[in-house]
């Protein structure tokens, strides 16, 4: 049978764009449908603007640190509207870059919302297109708990477009979005409370990371409330918590998770299996329960990180059109949380390593950064290595501190290659840096 396209991608985020562009470069006839701005969550309401906001939030502390190095300047003043305008200009530039990459690769761009009619047919605005393969790359969307008054709160989507900063903000949640926005608001001068229903931030990360991050954030001025959950929000943003306490805020932001974007796509009618969360169920090659329909990125709810989505897109293009079937590899994926201070990790947590290997060796250190020794700054850097005792392979590396993401990216190469603790030890460090601690840790934890 002759199809209109070899690949029809629904969703113009990082994963969908990468899969479409690489597939087109391999000779496939590709169409991609996107009704909004190209770049998806990451470019528009995620990684990029969030990191720009995090940079802005860090400057307040940088001005204070500068005084201890002899610098004097007028009292710094922050202009929220300037940050917003400059952020929007950069996002618009990236939207254009994504679209140009697709056009230059020869992909057909369709600016409309698409839905699946059957295993080989997609419909947009009453028009039907046939495709040998259909790719679902529609990402995810923030979720809000169904408590009374939840409609008075916002999510991270709206936080990037606030007309003005609040005086007092409540951020609800304990994962990436919540701790990052709590740090951003606090750094920009907002009186900020972070409330999380659990006993420790960053569930799923190494236990020490969540504990130490909470301590560092509190030391920087964030009011961290653990085992605290909003029960209802009254007009005027009076928030009642389930422990009986109540407080009024100027803004409430829920950073309480995301849900795969699969509603009204026609997937179930086409035979595509979804899990209880609405995520598309796929095999290790990203194939759904329908042989001609594939899915990558957050819509599959496997590992919801932009670089993972783009990698899945590349691997899928190789599988379909490169003659190189490539399974998805989610082993030893590094990640960073751009809170203040930054946090980054690769490999297994101590708990995961003990569960998998039994005996593990743990090395850790905590110290005040050289940058803060001349002034009143109390921030401490934390570095931890987890080693399989039997093979002596480093199976986890974790860090809290400035530029943790930049440092862990390099360490991740060694972990991915299976480097041993002896090989870490044989590597000469760069002195004086925080990164050198990864190759100078010698004292093993006693327990």
- Judge if 183 and 68 occupy the same domain: no
- Judge if 127 and 10 occupy the same domain: yes
Cβ(312)–Cβ(305) below 8 Å: no
Catalytic residues: 431
Q: Specify the range with the lowest mean pLDDT, choosing from 53-62, 394-403, 420-429, 437-446.
A: 437-446
Is residue 51 situated within a structural domain?
yes
- What percent of the chain is modeled with pLDDT above 70? 100
Residue 318 has pLDDT above 90, yes or no: yes
Residue 446 has pLDDT above 80, yes or no: no
User: Is this structure's pTM higher than 0.85?
Assistant: yes
- What percent of the chain is modeled with pLDDT above 90? 97
Residue 138, token pair as written in the block: 């529609």
Q: Specify the range with the lowest mean pLDDT, choosing from 72-81, 212-221, 426-435.
A: 72-81
Residue 429 has pLDDT above 70, yes or no: yes
Residue spans of alpha helices (H) in 220-334: 306-321
pLDDT band at 216 (very low <50, low <70, confident <90, very high): very high
Supply angle C-alpha 86, 159, 220, rounded to 5: 90
Q: Mean pLDDT over residues 209-236, rounded?
A: 97
Chain-centroid distance, C-alpha 434? 24
Strands (E), 68-196: 108-110, 114-118, 121-124, 127-136, 140-142, 168-172, 191-196
Give the C-alpha separation, 7 to 25, whole Å: 12
What pLDDT does residue 183 have? 98
Give the C-alpha separation, 140 to 261, whole Å: 5
The CA-atom distances, in angstroms, between 44 and each of 7, 83, 156 are 25, 15, 11
Give the C-alpha separation, 309 to 303, whole Å: 8
- Judge if 45 and 136 occupy the same domain: yes
Is residue 238 situated within a structural domain?
yes
Residue 225 has pLDDT above 60, yes or no: yes
Q: Mean pLDDT over residues 150-172, rounded?
A: 98
- Judge if 292 and 357 occupy the same domain: no
Q: What is the DSSP letter of 290?
A: S
CB atoms within 10 A of CB 223: 16
Is residue 37 situated within a structural domain?
yes
State how many domains the chain has.
3
- Judge if 238 and 305 occupy the same domain: no
Mean pLDDT of the chain: 97
Q: Mean pLDDT over residues 185-206, rounded?
A: 97
Residue 230 has pLDDT above 70, yes or no: yes
- Judge if 283 and 294 occupy the same domain: yes
- Judge if 172 and 214 occupy the same domain: yes
CATH of the domain at 214: 3.50.50.60
Give the C-alpha separation, 136 to 152, whole Å: 32
Q: Mean pLDDT over residues 250-256, rounded?
A: 98
Is residue 330 situated within a structural domain?
no
CA gyration radius, the chain: 23
- Judge if 205 and 244 occupy the same domain: yes
**Backbone CA torsion sign across 52, 56, 57, 58:** positive
Residue range of the domain that includes 419: 341-439
Is residue 332 situated within a structural domain?
no
Is residue 329 situated within a structural domain?
no
- Residue 442, Cβ density class (10 Å: 0-12 exposed, 13-18 middle, ≥19 buried): exposed
Is residue 23 situated within a structural domain?
yes
Residue 447 has pLDDT above 60, yes or no: no
pLDDT band at 1 (very low <50, low <70, confident <90, very high): confident
- Judge if 80 and 174 occupy the same domain: no
- Judge if 247 and 362 occupy the same domain: no
CATH of the domain at 432: 3.30.390.30
Is residue 71 situated within a structural domain?
yes
Length of the chain: 447
Indicate the residue among 203, 231, 256 that finishes a domain.
Answer: 256
Query: What is the spatial order of strands in the sheet that 238-241 belongs to?
Result: 230-234, 238-241, 246-248
- Judge if 136 and 112 occupy the same domain: yes
- Judge if 181 and 298 occupy the same domain: no
What pLDDT does residue 445 have? 85
């Amino acid at each position: 049978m002759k199809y209109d396209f070899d690949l029809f991608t629904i969703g113009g985020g990082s994963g969908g764009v990468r899969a479409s562009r690489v597939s087109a470069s391999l000779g496939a006839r590709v169409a991609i449908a996107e009704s909004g701005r190209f770049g998806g969550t990451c470019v528009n309401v995620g990684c990029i603007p969030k990191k720009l906001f995090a940079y802005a939030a860090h400057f307040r502390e940088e001005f204070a640190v500068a005084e201890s190095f002899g610098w004097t300047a007028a009292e710094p003043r922050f202009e929220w509207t300037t940050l917003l305008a400059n952020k929007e200009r950069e996002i618009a530039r990236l939207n254009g870059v994504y679209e140009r990459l697709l056009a230059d690769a020869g992909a057909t761009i369709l600016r409309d919302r698409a839905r699946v009619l059957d295993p080989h047919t997609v419909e947009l605005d009453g028009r039907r297109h046939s495709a040998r393969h259909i790719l679902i790359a529609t990402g995810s969307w923030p979720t809000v708990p169904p408590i009374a008054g939840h409609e008075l709160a916002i999510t991270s989507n709206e936080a990037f477009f606030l007309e003005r900063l609040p005086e007092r903000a409540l951020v609800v949640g304990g994962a990436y979005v919540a701790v990052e926005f709590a740090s951003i608001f606090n750094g920009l001068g907002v009186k900020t409370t972070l409330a999380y229903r659990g006993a420790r931030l960053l569930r799923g990360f190494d236990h020490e990371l969540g504990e130490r991050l909470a301590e560092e954030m509190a030391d920087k001025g964030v009011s961290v409330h653990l085992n605290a959950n909003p029960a209802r929000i009254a007009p005027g943003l009076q928030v009642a918590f389930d422990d009986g306490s109540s407080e009024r805020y100027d803004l409430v932001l829920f950073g309480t998770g995301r849900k795969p974007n699969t509603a009204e796509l026609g997937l179930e009618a086409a035979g595509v299996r979804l899990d209880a969360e609405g995520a598309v169920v796929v095999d290790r090659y990203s194939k759904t329960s329908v042989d001609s329909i594939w899915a990558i990125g957050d819509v599959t709810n496997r590992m919801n990180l932009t670089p993972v989505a783009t990698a899945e897109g590349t691997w899928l293009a190789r599988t379909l059109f490169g003659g190189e079937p490539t399974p998805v590899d989610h082993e030893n994926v590094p990640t960073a949380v751009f809170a203040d201070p930054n946090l980054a990790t690769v490999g297994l947590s101590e708990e995961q390593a003990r569960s998998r290997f039994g005996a593990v060796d743990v090395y850790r250190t905590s110290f005040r950064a050289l940058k803060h020794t001349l002034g009143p700054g109390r921030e401490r850097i934390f570095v931890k290595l987890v080693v399989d005792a039997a093979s002596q392979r480093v199976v986890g590396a974790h860090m809290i501190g400035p530029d943790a993401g930049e440092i862990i990216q390099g360490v991740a190469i060694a972990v991915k290659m299976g480097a041993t603790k002896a090989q870490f030890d044989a590597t000469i460090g760069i002195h004086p840096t925080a990164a050198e601690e990864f190759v100078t840790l010698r004292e093993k934890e006693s327990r």
